Amino acid sequence: MGSPGPSPSRVYRVFELQAAVRDLLEGEFGRVWVEGELSGVKRAQSGHVYFALKDEKARLDVVLWRSSAVRLRFEPEDGLTVRVRGRLTVYAPQGRYQMEADALEPVGAGPLQVAFEQLRRRLEADGLFDPARKRRLPAFPRRVALVTSPSGAAVRDLIHVASRRWPALELVVVPVRVQGPGAAEEIAAGIRAADARGFDVLVVGRGGGSLEDLWAFNEEAVARAIFAARTPVVSAVGHEVDVTISDLVADVRAATPSAAAELVAPDRVQMMGGLRGTGRRLARAARALLGEGRRRLDAAASARAFRRPLERVHEAGLAVDDVALRLATAARERLRARGEAFERIAARLDALSPLKVLARGFSVTTKGGRVLTRAADARAGDELRTILADGEVRSRVT
């Protein structure tokens, strides 16, 4: 029979050994930072987050306590490379060692940037950025709401530029906090309130600041409120270089609050110029039509159809003249012919005229107005008239 091995100097109980190991670990490492890839992330009902941190060769189990987990600005997702700070310890009931973490941050980008990316991906998948859904701004809005801080440069610039361009535009400030805890909810509530009050455009925004300052405009509550608004929304957050989630959801993005005023308010100076042009077109068109009318009138007046009646009257007149002339000539001819004939007859008559006979010495004797042709008709005492060539003689019959 072989001899037993050397007797161990000490035999631990299991819990003793685990406790000793724990003490060793905690003493040796204290709190450490370790970097790796998140894997198997699980949020327990308790609020604690359990996961494994991995690299190509090894794995470490980690638990992030609820108190730290709620302060996370981003979502710990599988595959994310992170740095974790915690204490190594032994979980005796399971005989494992693990890390109890109190800090978790992404590697390569700040937690806010990671959060931004995560939300952007999620909302994009939900269709909040769909270009087809974006509405055009009205060309001549009458009422515009400004959901922004009531103090500060942004609201002043918005009002100043908008009023200068279109003084008749009604501007209503919907005052909200634009940073700090609860700001996102206030902004969302402001958007909802304005949407219900009959505006033509909502402008949502604030002046410039750090990513932390602008963070409210990257939160889901604001994005959802903008998406749900029936009024077209202009997002005007920070400076040109800051792109926020609300910029992506809104119907129109303005690089700055002043740019927003230019997008929303028409420029009345430009409009005046446009009106002058329209006025000129109006006058030109009317003149053209009147000129056209006059031309048509002249053309009609000078058309053959109009002149011909006059011509015909003319021609008829000529014809009449002609006929009249011929008539006159013919009449004169006939008159002359008649005249000659007349004269001939007159001459013959003349020759036969009793006056000519008288001149030859014959006389005409009348008694009581009747010509005496028989001597027997003359009785004694009758008064007789005898007409001679150059006069008459009265006599009494003896």
Partner 1 sequence: MANPKEGFEDHLQALEKIVEELEQGDLTLDAALARFEEGVKRLKTCRELLTKAEEKVKILVRDAEGELKEEPFESEEA
168 near partner 1 (CB under 8 A): yes
Start-to-end C-alpha separation, the chain: 244
The nearer residue to partner 1, 122 or 164, going by C-beta atoms, is: 164
The SS3 of residue 80 is coil
CB 61 within 8 A of CB 98: yes
286 near partner 1 (CB under 8 A): yes
163 near partner 1 (CB under 8 A): yes
Question: In this structure, what are the phi and psi dihedrals at residue 90, rounded to the nearest 5 degrees?
Answer: -105, 130
192 near partner 1 (CB under 8 A): no
The nearer residue to partner 1, 286 or 328, going by C-beta atoms, is: 286
211 near partner 1 (CB under 8 A): no
Pick from 84, 88, 114, 171: which binds partner 1 (CB under 8 A)? 171
Please report, as a single letter, which amino acid is at residue 232: P
CB 60 within 8 A of CB 69: no
193 near partner 1 (CB under 8 A): yes
174 near partner 1 (CB under 8 A): yes
CB 374 within 8 A of CB 365: no
Instruction: Give the separation between CA 244 and CA 236, rounded to whole angstroms.
Output: 9
Site for partner 1 in 350-389 (CB under 8 A): none
Q: Which residues, in sequence order, are bridge partners of residue 36? A: 82
Q: Which residues, in sequence order, are bridge partners of residue 392? A: 387
327 near partner 1 (CB under 8 A): no
Instruction: Give the separation between CA 308 and CA 313, rounded to whole angstroms.
Output: 8
Span of 17-25, 56-64, 267-275, 301-309 interacting with partner 1 by CB under 8 A:
267-275
Nearest CA among 137, 248, 151, 263 for reference residue 206: 151
Pick from 24, 32, 282, 341: which binds partner 1 (CB under 8 A)? 282
Question: Where do we find the tokens 């013919």?
Answer: 330
The nearer residue to partner 1, 32 or 282, going by C-beta atoms, is: 282
Pick from 228, 271, 328, 349: which binds partner 1 (CB under 8 A)? 271
298 near partner 1 (CB under 8 A): no
Pick from 71, 121, 142, 295: which binds partner 1 (CB under 8 A)? 142
The nearer residue to partner 1, 64 or 194, going by C-beta atoms, is: 194
Nearest CA among 317, 295, 296, 299 for reference residue 307: 299
Q: Which residues bind partner 1 (CB under 8 A)?
A: 138-140, 142, 145, 150-151, 153, 155-156, 159, 163, 167-175, 193-194, 197, 268, 271-272, 275, 278-279, 281-282, 285-286, 288-290, 292-293
